[in-house]
Amino acid sequence: MNAQSAHVRVEPAQRLSGAGLMVRALERLGVTTVFGYPGGAIMPLYDALAGSGIRHILVRHEQAAAFAADAWGRTTGEVGVCIATSGPGATNLITGLANAMMDSAPMVAITGQVGTAVMGTDAFQEVDILGMTLPVVKHSYVVRDPADIPRVMVEAFEIAAMGRPGPVLIDLPKDVASALTDDGYFPAPDRPVAPELDAGAVEAAEREIQAAERPVLYVGGGVGLAGATRALRAFAERTGIPAIATLKGLGALPTGHPQHLGMLGMHGARAANEAVHDADLLIVCGARFDDRATGRLDTFAPGARVIHIDADPAEIGKLRAAQVAVTGDLGATLDRLGRTAPAIGSWIARTQAAKAAHAAHYDAPGDDVYAPALLKAISEAAGDRFVAACDVGQHQMWAAQHCRFSRPRAHLTSAGLGAMGYGLPAGIAAKLARPGDEVVVITGDGSIMMNIQELATARRYGVAVKILLLDNSRLGLVRQWQELFYDRNYSEIDLSDNPDFVKVAEAFGVEAFRISLREEVGPGIERLLAAEGPCLAHVMIDPEHNVWPLVPPGKGNIEMMHHSFKRM
């Protein structure tokens, strides 16, 4: 906040508690929905929430509240809000905070705390949540005076949303939440002014583009966060430069676009990884050279110069030196680049030939459900309204490889942290945020058990989220690695004692059915998408199916392992 921020006088009808001021701040900040779970220390806030205009979604575990708030932020671009009590309620948020930090999701977490008089005495349900979360939040507050609440709330929302988004923690002691105050000043949010682009850097980037013979457009999740999708697509169209995407960058350029070669990295498309390896220029837009994308860094794009465009200057040069760095507004930068298409016709032809030669095939032999074909089919059936809320495991990689994404903010997954259990609460939040979208939770039999209790949340609020549960009765990705790299020593990956997931869903009051054979896939997709309320399709798949291709650990992306089946 700067010293010249405007102030608006609030004239409360009566003195407000600290909790009442916090609710008023949430309303003034435009918050319509929060996710939480009450308890002793946070009870004053819940007392103030009752009767407010804010919709509270009662989850069944605080981790789900954090994942839901994270997904709300990713889906809407607004700041998601979660609430928990002190002690275990607060500690149960930590995984969700780490997830939001890793994936740059704007979020504010409000935790109850024991009264200030007993803080530091190991009081009942007291933990130092501020200290515990320091590495996984952008900023933290402990509120000690209720008069500070309006300022703290505005600052927290600004910090969560500005620059590279992320989570902010507000710890609210119970006595501060209960104390009355008549301080009704509410600071108006600062309107950040985008820094001017470095004209010299932009000109240097343009020279690199025009001189390149084998350029590649490297698209990360920052494109969607920056609202730069239009600029990115226009740049790609006028230059013709082949494009690849990270896991979080999928959809910024539609995955069906002719220039899109696929996802890069450990489970990326062969055409994408080969193009990066052979490139002489990488135009990196909102990406951070994550290890799952680059593989062995010293072998990654060995002959390429780098233009790195990012809102976060900390990412520039962190892992790969950039010959040209442009920080600031990503969309404005792209609008000024590539005004003349580079002469790269032979390179475009070469990458398109590789894309065609290595295209996925979906005619696997046998009668079993082939997961890649199923995921491709459901995304196409849902069309441009498709949103995937994806858990972590083999199904996550199959979805990234084979689902059709036509826009950013339509692929919600725990990318950096890799947190199982993300999919269901994320899907619920996404459907609440955008009820007109076709939100499909893509999960596995391992991941669904991490937050399966949120079926109750979906049912309670009538959230028509569709759940595609791929069941191979294994921890599939771990099993695959044990098969390939640990001499088939299958240690603790057997989930053959899974419950009957159809019966479990029905016990929660959720419609459910089973798909066991390939011939059932088409009718199953139709039934799932046509369901009026929440619905679960339990899909049995072969436990021996692996995700291909795969870059082995410690290898460069060009050293991909492949598998092919004889096409019928």
Whole domain around residue 441: which residue ranges?
A: 371-540
**Number of domains the chain is built from:** 3
Task: Tell me the pLDDT band of 182, cut-offs 50, 70 and 90.
Answer: confident
Is the CB of residue 544 less than 8 Å from the CB of residue 474?
A: no
Instruction: Give me the pLDDT at residue 42, please.
Output: 98
Question: Of 357, 382, 401, which residue is a domain's last?
Answer: 357
Shared domain for 50 and 95, answered yes or no, is: yes
Q: Would 258 be classed as within a structural domain? A: yes
Choose among 124, 266, 92, 283: nearest CA to 206: 283
| Tens digit of each residue's pLDDT (9 = 90 or more) over 396-455 | 999 999 999 999 999 999 999 999 999 999 999 999 999 999 999 999 999 999 999 999
Shared domain for 323 and 411, answered yes or no, is: no
Instruction: Give me the pLDDT at residue 6, please.
Output: 41
Instruction: Give me the pLDDT at residue 15, please.
Output: 83
Shared domain for 326 and 393, answered yes or no, is: no
SS3 452: helix
> How many whole angstroms separate alpha carbon 242 and alpha carbon 304?
14
Q: Would 353 be classed as within a structural domain? A: yes
Shared domain for 375 and 315, answered yes or no, is: no
Shared domain for 436 and 346, answered yes or no, is: no
> How many whole angstroms separate alpha carbon 116 and alpha carbon 518?
61
Shared domain for 215 and 306, answered yes or no, is: yes
Shared domain for 493 and 345, answered yes or no, is: no
Shared domain for 353 and 385, answered yes or no, is: no
| Tens digit of each residue's pLDDT (9 = 90 or more) over 274-294 | 999 999 999 999 999 999 899
Shared domain for 26 and 149, answered yes or no, is: yes
| Tens digit of each residue's pLDDT (9 = 90 or more) over 94-114 | 999 999 999 999 999 999 999
Q: Would 559 be classed as within a structural domain? A: no
Q: Would 70 be classed as within a structural domain? A: yes
Q: Would 1 be classed as within a structural domain? A: no
| Tens digit of each residue's pLDDT (9 = 90 or more) over 49-97 | 998 999 999 999 999 999 999 999 999 999 999 999 999 999 999 999 9
Choose among 28, 114, 56, 68: nearest CA to 426: 68
Between 15 and 242, the more confident residue is 242
In this structure, of 3-7, 87-91, 180-184, 432-436, the range with the lowest mean pLDDT score is 3-7
Question: Of 156, 187, 218, which residue is a domain's last?
Answer: 187
Is the CB of residue 235 less than 8 Å from the CB of residue 515?
A: no
Sheet with 215-219, side-by-side order of all strands: 260-263, 243-245, 215-219, 281-285, 305-310, 324-327
Reply yes or no on whether the pLDDT at 191 is more than 90. Answer: no
Mean pLDDT of the chain: 93
Reply yes or no on whether the pLDDT at 226 is more than 70. Answer: yes
Instruction: Give me the pLDDT at residue 305, please.
Output: 97
Q: Would 563 be classed as within a structural domain? A: no
| Tens digit of each residue's pLDDT (9 = 90 or more) over 314-357 | 889 899 999 999 998 999 999 999 989 999 999 999 999 999 99
Task: Tell me the pLDDT band of 483, cut-offs 50, 70 and 90.
Answer: very high
Shared domain for 143 and 103, answered yes or no, is: yes
CATH number for 480: 3.40.50.970
Is the CB of residue 240 less than 8 Å from the CB of residue 259?
A: yes
Instruction: Give me the pLDDT at residue 565, please.
Output: 56
| Tens digit of each residue's pLDDT (9 = 90 or more) over 471-482 | 999 999 999 999
CATH number for 244: 3.40.50.1220
Instruction: Give me the pLDDT at residue 184, please.
Output: 65
Question: Of 187, 213, 229, which residue is a domain's last?
Answer: 187
Q: Would 339 be classed as within a structural domain? A: yes
Instruction: Give me the pLDDT at residue 312, please.
Output: 85
Residue with tokens 């419950």: 499
> How many whole angstroms separate alpha carbon 101 and alpha carbon 135?
9
Shared domain for 311 and 180, answered yes or no, is: no
Instruction: Give me the pLDDT at residue 310, please.
Output: 92
Q: Name the β-bridge partners of 83.
A: 36, 110
Instruction: Give me the pLDDT at residue 564, please.
Output: 64
Q: Name the β-bridge partners of 285.
A: 219, 309
Q: Would 78 be classed as within a structural domain? A: yes
The single-letter code of the amino acid at 264 is: L
Instruction: Give me the pLDDT at residue 430, please.
Output: 98
> How many whole angstroms separate alpha carbon 214 and alpha carbon 361?
27
Instruction: Give me the pLDDT at residue 183, please.
Output: 62
Shared domain for 495 and 451, answered yes or no, is: yes
- Say what percent of the chain tops pLDDT 70: 95
